[in-house]
Amino acid sequence: MSTQKRAYKFRCYPTDEQKQILARTFGCVRFTYNWALHLKTDAFYKEHTRLYYKDLSSMLTDLKKQDDYRWLNDVSSVPVQQALRHLDKAFITFFEGRGKYPRFKKKRNKQSATYTSSAFTFRHGVLTLAKMQEPLAIVWSRPLPEGVAPSSVTVSKDAVDRYFVSLLIEEDIAHLMPCETAIGADLGLKSFVALSDGEVVGNPRFFQQDEKKLAKAQRRHAKKKKGSKNREKAQREVARIHARIGDRRSDFLHKLSTRLIRENQTICVESLLVKNMVKNPSLSKAISDVGWGQFVTLLEYKADWYGRNLVKIDKWYPSSKRCFDCGYIYEALTLDVRHWTCPKCGVHHDRDSNAAKNIRSVGLTVLNACGESVRPGAVKTKSGKTQRSRKPRK
Q: Which of 120, 188, 108 is nearest to 155 (CA)?
A: 120
Q: Which of 337, 45, 353 is nearest to 191 (CA)?
A: 353
Q: Which of 87, 91, 93, 92 is nearest to 105 (CA)?
A: 87
Q: What is the DSSP pairing of strand 266-270 with strand 182-187?
A: parallel
> Catalytic annotation on 352?
yes
> Catalytic annotation on 186?
yes
CB within 8 Å of 111: residues ≥ 6 apart: 26, 29, 30, 156, 157
Single out the catalytic residue among 88, 237, 270, 289: 270
Single out the catalytic residue among 237, 289, 314, 352: 352
Cβ–Cβ < 8 Å for 362, 266: no
CA-to-CA distance for 188 and 173, rounded, in angstroms? 32
Single out the catalytic residue among 88, 186, 289, 314: 186
CA-to-CA distance for 34 and 28, rounded, in angstroms? 10
> Catalytic annotation on 263?
no
CA-to-CA distance for 201 and 355, rounded, in angstroms? 15
Q: What is the DSSP string of 193-262?
A: EEETTS-EEE---HHHHTHHHHHHHHHHHHHSPTTSHHHHHHHHHHHHHHHHHHHHHHHHHHHHHHHHHH
3-state secondary structure of 40: helix
CA-to-CA distance for 254 and 368, rounded, in angstroms? 28
3-state secondary structure of 339: strand
Strand partners, 6: 169
Cβ–Cβ < 8 Å for 236, 161: yes
Cβ–Cβ < 8 Å for 315, 271: yes
Cα–Cα separations (whole angstroms), residue 155 to 19, 33, 222:
11, 16, 31
CA-to-CA distance for 105 and 99, rounded, in angstroms? 16
Tell me the catalytic residues: 186, 270, 352
